Each structure stands twice: as C-alpha cells, then as structure tokens.
Structure 1
C-alpha cells in the first residue's frame, strides 16, 4: 500500500507518541521521587530534559516546586517547569506557572524569558498539528489564543526592548498579524456567501485599519469593492477601487 506523505507523517507521529507513552510508568516515577534530595531530583530533571523526556521532567520539577518552594534551585525549577509544560502541550499549567513566576519575581533577570514563553505557549495552543499535517487550512478558527500571544509579545517588547527575545517576538507578531487578518477575510467571505454585504465590507475595512501591513490587504479591498457594488454604494466602491488600482494594479477587480 502506498501512503501519501501527510498520512505517513501522521503514522510516524502516532508511533512516536506510543513509544513515549510506554517509556515510563507511574510506579517508576513514584520510586524516582521518593527519598531524594533537592539537588539529586533537580539533576534527574535536567537529565530527563536533555533526553527530551519532558513528561518525566515536568513531574519531577512539579514535585520539586511543591517540596522546596524556597530552595536554591527554586527559580530555575519554575523556569524549567514552564518549558517542560510548553513542550508537552500543557497550556493551562504553563500559563499558571508563568503568571505565578512573574507575579512573585517582578524584578528577576528572567522575567523577559517568562513573558516570551507566555507568548509561545498561547501561540502553540492556537495550532492543530493533525490539521496542518493533512493540509487543512483552518484560518477561520477562533484566533483568541493568537490575539493573546500578540499581546504577550507586545508586553515583552514594551517592557524589555533590549531583551534577547525581542527580535524573535517581533517576527512572531508579524506572523500573528497575518493570521488574524486571514481570519477576518474568512469571516468576510462567510458573510458574502450569505449576502450579508454590510458585515462583509466592514470586515474588509477592519483589515485595512488594523492590519495594514498584512498580506491580506488586496483581498480586503476586493471584498470591499464587491460588497459596495452589491449595495450600490457607488462613492464607497469608487474609493475602494481607486486604492486597489493604486496598490494592486494586477488585481482582476482593478481592470
């Protein structure tokens, strides 16, 4: 049997997930955590992280965080726990740990890292691995996590403009803008299919106002031209068409 590439990737991922799921048992982890010193447990957590076993690492780090909240490794334990939760997709736990760290350690040298991880965590929660593998475009799904990630990265840049994470945060904000603009376009097209042209035109105008540097500007203008034409709003159509011709002369609507 010949498998198409996306489904082959899917099978590989499922196999890997199965292997990792069998790599350790709750009993093994319980034995590991019993009667160990803080330093020994932390070394074990670091070893698990270096091996990519973030599930085990998160369990050890969580136990460390509970048993030794003021120990010499406490701050680094929390930061490693944030990363481990992020790697295994425990979004709520990661965000709760981040918020607690920032609240209790507002002047810590790694607060910028915590804010950066907050953005990454929210952005990652907005993805669907299996949909991406099979090539399904879901730009119409609820972008609330993307909006939160955008705010997280903006907060990082505003508070720590010289942070080593600032440059990457800016790049991700550009990506998120495109994601949010695509969402507005998809909703606009949904309204057009239902002949709700006022609502559709408003979505197009929203993209122009709030995401002027996104890749969806041409589509937003084309939607506005078509909707204003359907609504017989000639002056608004004329203005949208003029802007479209000026910026996208090769558009089918511009001819």
Structure 2
C-alpha cells in the first residue's frame, strides 16, 4: 500500500521525538484526542503491522471525526488492515462504503482490487499447498471474488491491477469447475445418474475452458451409459474423444 505524505512525515517526526509521543497519545482520553492524534497512532501501528491497534485507532478516528481528508484516507488503510488481520468481511464493508462515498477518488481501481483480494482470501488457505483443495470450500465465496475481479476489469481495464485480476479469474474459474465436478461425482457414486449428468453439463456450459473439461465429459458419458441413453452417450463420447485428441496434440 502506498504511504501518504502525512504518514511519512509522522514516521520521521516519531523517530526524532521517541516513544514519549506515542505514550502521550495512549494516556490521553479518546474524547480529548484530535484527528491528528488518532491518525498518527493508526499509521504508526500500520507501519509496524500491528493491525489490531491500527484498526482500533482508524475506527475511533471515523467515529469521532467522520468527515474530512483524514476520514477519507482512513477507509482504504482501515480496509487493508482488516484484510491483513484476516477479517475480509470487515474489509469489504469498508471498501464498499468508500466506493459509495467517493466514486471519483483516484484510488478507486485499488479499492476495487482490494475488495476482490479480501473476498478471494476466504477461498484460500496456507494448507492449500500441502493437503487441502480450495475447491472443497464455500463456492459462494469464490463466486463473490470472481464477480469482484470481473467488475474491476470491466470498470478499469487499463489499471495496474487488471493483469493480476485476469490471472485470478482463470484460477477461480478452474476452482469452481472442480467444485462442481466433486458434486457431480458424489451424485454418480450414489447412483443419481441424472443429477451427475446435469452437473457435468453445467460444467461444460459454464466453464468450457476449465482444466476439468475432459473429466466432466467422461463423467457425462458414463452417466448417460448408466441411464441407457445411447444416443446421448454416443454424442458425449464423440466429443470426449475429440477433446482428448486435442489435448494430446497440444
């Protein structure tokens, strides 16, 4: 996140005056603090990655001084602090309020991107690299992140965040397709072949370029076979074999 000029000035000032400045801010009752007091304490905690302290001071700043440039800047910094503090819903709330209040703000592309990142964080875990699959988690969260990234790209296609957003759209599309495939296979295992066929068709229609396309086609073929739908099975098998041939040629 970019540091504001005010943040830089405060950090420089703090390094010269020592901890006594921060101590005086802590000891002063909230009702007696100025907007500068709250913002200075918040930005120092932000710099030190003390997200809970930063959140507390940003929230108090907004409560005591809801208008003006300090409050305006606090929305983005507070949202980022919530995001880093693993409270994505609070981050999204702050960003949507910021988007509503300041639609012409120069940092609007960043606000949209951070909102998508916050929603996306719900679909991720550090365990994904080892034992878990994000496709097993709530699909609604993935859809929210997907929609937020899409909105960013549609509104700000030339922004510095568009490329990263496009890459995440591909990953999320594959993730949601895998989620659908897991459900389809579950139905198949329960001999609910019509339900598994419908799910497989949904994958092909909504995620045509997903990495599980071939697997969805195979499951669709098997489901039709189990139901004795010979014409549908023949057509699905033909498409599956064609798809396999293309994969091998690539």
Q: TM-score, normalised by structure 1?
A: 0.80
Deviation sequence 1:221-251 (CA, Å, 0-9, x none) = 1101111111111111111111111121499
Equivalent in 34, 49, 59 of residue 56 of structure 2: 59
Deviation sequence 1:7-38 (CA, Å, 0-9, x none) = xxxxxxxxxxxxxxxxxxxxx99647734332
Query: Which aligned pairs between 1:29-178 and structure 2 lie closer than 5 A?
Result: 31=27, 34=30, 35-129=32-126, 131-132=127-128, 135-137=131-133, 139-178=135-174
Q: How has the CA–CA distance of structure 1 residues 240 and 36 changed in structure 2, closer, same or farther, with 3 Å as cutoff?
A: same
Q: How has the CA–CA distance of structure 1 residues 33 and 227 changed in structure 2, closer, same or farther, with 3 Å as cutoff?
A: farther
Shift in Å, 1:85? 0.6
Give the distance between the partners of 1:97 and 1:184, measured in 2 at CA: 32
Deviation sequence 1:121-160 (CA, Å, 0-9, x none) = 111122344x537613352332101101111111111111
Q: If each structure's helix is expressed as a fraction of its own residues, which one has the higher value?
A: 2
Hey, which bits of structure 1, 4+ residues long, moved more than 3 A? 28-36, 131-134
Query: Which aligned pairs between 1:160-239 and structure 2 lie closer than 5 A?
Result: 160-239=156-235
Q: Structure with the greater relative contact order (CA < 8 A, sep ≥ 6): 1 or 2?
A: 1
Deviation sequence 1:59-118 (CA, Å, 0-9, x none) = 111111111222332221110001011111222321221111111111111222121111
Give the distance between the partners of 1:218 and 1:33, measured in 2 at CA: 64
Alignment gaps of 5+ in structure 2: 1-23
User: Contact 1:29/1:56 (CA < 8 Å) preserved in 2?
Assistant: no
Partner SS, residue 49 of structure 2 = coil
Give the distance between the partners of 1:250 and 1:167, measured in 2 at CA: 28
Deviation sequence 1:173-218 (CA, Å, 0-9, x none) = 1111011000000000110011011110111111111111111101
Q: For the aligned residues, what is the CA RMSD?
A: 2.3
Alignment gaps of 5+ in structure 1: 1-27
* Equivalences, count: 224
Q: TM-score, normalised by structure 2?
A: 0.82
